Amino acid sequence: MQVFLIRHPPPRIDPGVCYGRLDVEAIDPAGAAARLRPLLPAGVPVCCSPLRRARILAEALHPAPVIDARLAEIDFGDWEGRRWDDIDRAALTAWADDLLGFVPPGGESVAALQARVLAFAATLADQPADSALALVTHGGVLRALLGHWLRLPVAEWTRLQFAFARVSAVELAGDRAVLRYLNR
């Protein structure tokens, strides 16, 4: 199975503001769709996050994308919408020291994000080998998926970089995954 991993276009939000589950618009989703469409197989099914910055791009790529809440970005809870510089330094240090287990106040841990993303990934296991799917989602979700498929340790997959409005491709075959390209 070919899986096309697409990060949403840049969010319409001031730089330095924490946004995860915060539902913000994207900058120029129509332009991103026009650039991405030729990189995808014609008629490829699309699944996406329910958040506008991903959903609007998915709707521009496919007339009826499947919206799946498991593809939403991490919930930073009380940190959402705040400037990173205004968040307590000790809390940010605690998060860095326990990346998987730390839970921002009112939010979710990276481990919880990973669990729901992997529950989604498990649904792809029975797909035909010659099938394809495009996922329009967020950096954290894409890191968790690709890290799982490539069997990367947490210290490596949490550092993967997915550029805004770019496509990466993974080929899944049984318990094997091959990264075909990153950030086209």
Terminal-to-terminal C-alpha distance of the chain? 19
**Which of 12, 6, 4, 14 minimizes the C-alpha distance to 139?**
6
Q: Which two tokens stand for residue 2?
A: 């070919």
Segment 78-130, tens digit of pLDDT: 999 999 999 999 999 999 999 999 999 999 999 999 999 999 999 998 889 89
* Mean pLDDT calculated for residue range 157-161: 94
**Which of 73, 81, 33 minimizes the C-alpha distance to 50?**
73
Q: Which domain holds residue 160?
A: 2-181
What pTM was computed for the model? 0.96
Distance separating alpha carbons of residues 3 and 86, to the nearest angstrom: 38
Domains held by the chain: number: 1
Where residue 100 sits, what CATH number does that domain have? 3.40.50.1240
Segment 29-41, tens digit of pLDDT: 999 999 999 999 9
